[in-house]
Amino acid sequence: MRRRRWMRRFGAVFGTVALGGLLGFLVPTIVAEYTPQPVASNDAFPIPTAATELPIARQFINAFVVNDQEKLRKLGADETDTVKAEDLANQVATVSTPVLLGSVGGPGASIQAYASDVTMNDGTEKVLSWRVLTQSGRATLILPPLPLGAKP
């Protein structure tokens, strides 16, 4: 009888300690898991700025605006890019040197944005912009999206 009483007391003390330890571990862990995490700073993954222009992109855009078909083919431009360069040459009278607006890159690919002042054949002046995707040492234009239709 006496042994049973001691076993009950020991079991109650052990159970209280075990329950306290379990709650002392689980509650903070669950609270930490479900609280919003602070936004990580960009120090670990800096976003490239305009200073990171790739030479292949510059060569591509310079050849594109002056419609240098031979150089575009040497740079590996596809048919769409050469046709767009031809269209641009047919629509504009003069094109200024493209200015790098900015670039952003990731593993194996980067995008550079360029803009240039142009004088159209009818004499109007505009600013045109292009985005150049460089991927695995090959540059290509990113075409703008098609306009939305009038019907939903």
Instruction: Quote the pLDDT of residue 119.
Output: 93
Alpha-carbon distance of 26 to 64, in angstroms, equals 62
**Residue 16 domain boundaries:** 1-37
Tokens describing residue 140:
């290509």
Q: Is the pTM of this model over 0.85?
A: no
How confident is the model over 67-108, as pLDDT tens digits?
999 999 998 888 999 999 999 999 999 999 999 988 888 788
Tokens standing for residue 38: 């602070």
Number of domains in the chain: 2
**DSSP-assigned letters across all residues of 80-113:** HHHHHHHHHHHHEEEEPPPEEEEEEEETTEEEEE
Q: What is the mean pLDDT of each run of 10 residues along the chain (152 residues)?
A: 80 87 82 76 50 84 92 90 92 92 85 92 90 89 74 67
Same domain, 19 and 80: no
The DSSP secondary-structure symbol of 49 reads -
pLDDT at 54: 86
64 and 126 belong to one structural domain: yes
Q: Give the span between the Cα atoms of 67 and 87, in whole angstroms.
A: 9
Q: Which residues contact 121 (CB under 8 A, 6 or more apart)?
A: 91, 92, 93
- CA torsion sign for 137, 138, 139, 141 is negative
Per-residue pLDDT, 48 = 47
135 and 95 within one domain: yes
Please tell me the predicted confidence (pLDDT) of residue 51.
52
